[in-house]
Structures are given as structure tokens and as C-alpha cells.
Structure 1
Amino acid sequence: MGDLEIRPAVAGDVPAVVAMLADDPLGAQRESPDDLSPYYAALERLSGDPNQRLVVAVREGRVIGTLQLTIVPGLSRRGAVRSIIEAVRVHADERGSGLGTRLVEWAVDTSRREGCRLVQLTSDATRTDAHRFYERLGFTASHVGFKLQL
């Protein structure tokens, strides 16, 4: 992985992050890289919330990966804190390089440091390659997820 840096995302990273979010059939339907204003507003909200970590993986000045980690205090599980990993993306040129593993390991390590007792993530039912990837990292498919579009 060489000189890989995982750091908080900044406004200058938004175009690269959105491009990665849009770089698959699902993302192409729901992302709008031609209008970045909602993404900049979202980054501002995320940056102001101490329970949010939107990070980018950077090598040689180029954003090549991203994920969002949310720390969730809770009452269940004896008051356990949990974390949620979302929007894991690796640039097409970097897939298969181990970068996704490094990003998820970063999220799990950060979750431990934050006192989390559980790390959760969801993956669209159609992303079977991603499911195999998460299982290789020790995650288990334990729940059925539901969404309500608002």
C-alpha cells in the first residue's frame, strides 16, 4: 500500500468521492456528480458532528477510496456503543489491491478506540461481491434490512 494516508475528507475531496459513489449501476442511479452542492452541504453537516467520520484514502495526492463511519451510542446491549460503516468505495483502478480491506480495518480499529462493542454495515442485496468481501473480513449476514424512502 506504500504511502497510503487515511484522513478526514475535506471539500476538495468531494468531486472524487462523488465520482466513486456514482461509479457502479446502483450509484449511477442515485448520485448526481453534475451538481455537487448537496454533497458539500452534507460534508459540512458531517464535519460538525463528532459521531461522524467521513474519510478518504489518498496515495500520491489522489483520492482512491472512501468510507463513512458513524458512532452510535445506544441503550440496548447493556448500553453498548456501536458503529456503522457505510459508503465503502474504492476507485476502479485500485480494486483488488487490498485497499478496501485497509479501509474497513481502519473503521474497525477506530470503532474499538471509540469503545464500540459492535460494528454494523449494510450492503445492497445485489452486491454479492461485496458480501463475500465483508464475510472474508469476519462480518456475518445476521439481519434483514428494511428501508422507507422519504
Structure 2
Amino acid sequence: MSDTNRIGLHEASASQLAEKLNELLANYQIFYMNVRGYHWNVKGPQFFQLHEKFEELYTDLLTKVDEVAERILTLGHQPVHAYSDYVEISRIREDKNVSDGKACVEGVLAGYQVLIELQRELLSLAADADDEGTAAQAGDYIREQEKTVWMLASYLA
């Protein structure tokens, strides 16, 4: 009997990666809801600009939620799918009733900081496991999100 899964990764490594991916998934879900809340509740002189930007961001986050869950399934594991689990697992905390534009953007920046940190941890685990699929996904997300962080930080400056 082989100790590798259907895509040729050692099961112990796949399990460790799936656990980290589930942590990432939980953070994406909470962050998605935070950004959705910013979109709905933002007020102030930059309303139109930020309302549109937050919609762009949460749409992208929702796509990534699905991609992360599908990667967990590809590894042969089950994605967590209950909000109670997300709240328990996530490093990102719910950001409720925020309407000030600057505070919303700061919340987005804080969320991306957590995601990028988690994805770097995932990148390291994936490299150790020779898991190019997970590494490529994490690397692509990091590249995109670092640029978004730069742009949002420039917006606040």
C-alpha cells in the first residue's frame, strides 16, 4: 500500500497542507464578509470610489474562497464549511459596523497582511512537500495581493 495520494503527494504532507489551507479558507471567508460589509456601509467623500473598489475586492475574494476549497479537495481532504469553524480558526476577526472610508481601507490592509503571511507559510510547506500546485496558487495570490496592498497604502498616504 502506498503512502501517497492520488496526485502523488505523501499523505502526511497532503494532510498538513490541507490543514493550513483550511486555516487560509477560514481567513478568506471572514475577510470576504468584512470587505462585503465595508462595501455596504462605507460613507464619506470617497464613497463612490471605495464602494466600487470594495466590490472588486470581495468578488475576487469569493473566487479565491472557491479555489482554496477546491485545492483542499484536490489534496484528498475536506474543506471546512461552517461559519462557526471559520470564526474559531481565523486570525482575521470580524470587523462590524465600520463605515469610515479610511477605517475600511485600513481593515482591508490588515486583512491582506494576514492572508499574505498565511500564504507565505503555505508556500514554505508546499515547497517542502514538492506540491507545485499549492505553491503556484499561493505564489499567484501573494503577487496579486502585494500589489493591492501597495495601491491601498498609497491611497491612504
Question: TM-score when scaled to structure 1?
Answer: 0.33
Return the structure number with greater strand share.
1
Higher RCO (CA 8 Å, separation ≥ 6 residues): 2
Return the structure number with greater helix share.
2
Question: TM-score when scaled to structure 2?
Answer: 0.32
